[in-house]
Amino acid sequence: MDKKIKVLIAEDIEPIRKRYCEIINNEPDLEVVADVSNMRDAITKTKELQPDVILMDIEMDSKDAGLIATKEILAKYPHKKIIILTVYEEDEFVFSAFQLGVCDYMLKNSTYQEIINGIKAAYLGQSPIRPEIAGKIRNEFKRIKSYENSFLYMLNILSSLTSSELEILYLIAKGYTRKEICAERHVEMSTVKTQIHNILKKFKKNTIKELINTIDDLSLLEMVINNRTNR
């Protein structure tokens, strides 16, 4: 390389920070331009020194300090290459970091060569989607997709209910007994029983308890009811 890759290290544990400094400065084409221990200094030094690659610890002065700093830095400098340093391999942290725009993540006990290769790959825009990262991302998208399918499925069924069924379901979800529903709606018990039977059939549920476990968000019910009202 014609010029040295400038690296900023943000890590609050001094022995780890020193280890990274020694490894990086031992490479002829890399140099540490700053090593800091907190979120605010990471942001300030990035602005002052414009490093090419930033090694950012997730947990510094707070549990998510690195993610906060990453978000602020990439908002101002979207092309900065940030590698998250972490002791965690939890999907939540990894996916949150990638959502913000980091190019890679590195475990703090990574080997000498893994650290050097990771920095150079990030600088060249060649950070690989390693199998473990790809797996975490796939798992997160599966979770999101599952939620979306569930939401759309519920919305579809709720939209198919009659206005009376929808109101009865809302009262059930709020904890009304059948007797209280009769009093609230001024109808006979037989009418309420028939409508509850129809609701259960549409949701493919056998009991009210099963149904209530499915309808655990009153806001969705309210949204459908309000939509009907405003038509």
107 is written with which tokens? 């475990």
The mean pLDDT value for 173-195 works out to: 92
Give the rounded distance of the alpha carbon of 4 from its chain centre. Answer: 35
User: In angstroms, rounded to a whole number, what is the distance separating the alpha carbons of residues 227 and 229?
Assistant: 5
pLDDT tens digits along 143-166: 666 665 666 677 778 888 888 998
Instruction: Kindly indicate the confidence band of residue 44, based on its pLDDT and cuts at 50, 70 and 90.
Output: very high
Residue 184's pLDDT is 93
Q: Where in the chain is the domain with CATH 3.40.50.2300?
A: 5-128, 138-229
> Rounded to whole angstroms, how far apart are CA atoms 186 and 179?
10
Maximum CA extent, the chain: 86
Residue 23 pLDDT more than 90?
yes
- Residue 53: beta bridge partners? 7, 81
Q: How many H-runs (helices) and E-runs (strands) does the chain carry?
A: 11, 5
Integer Cα distance of 115 and 111 in angstroms: 6
Across residues 86-111, what is the average pLDDT? 79
Can you identify the CATH homologous superfamily of domain 5-128? Response regulator (3.40.50.2300)
* DSSP letter (8 states) at residue 52: S
138-229 fold = Rossmann fold (3.40.50)
Tens of pLDDT, residue by residue over 58-81, are 889 888 899 999 999 999 999 999
Q: pLDDT tens for residues 124-134?
A: 988 666 656 66
| Crossing angle of helices 163-173 and 189-203, rounded to 10° | 90
What is the model's pLDDT at position 154?
A: 77
- Asked if 12 contacts 37 with a C-beta cutoff of 8 angstroms, the reply is yes
More confident residue, 215 or 33: 33
| pLDDT for 114 beyond 70 | yes
More confident residue, 50 or 202: 50
Residue 137: count other Cβ atoms within 10 Å of its Cβ: 16
Predicted local confidence at residue 158, as pLDDT: 83
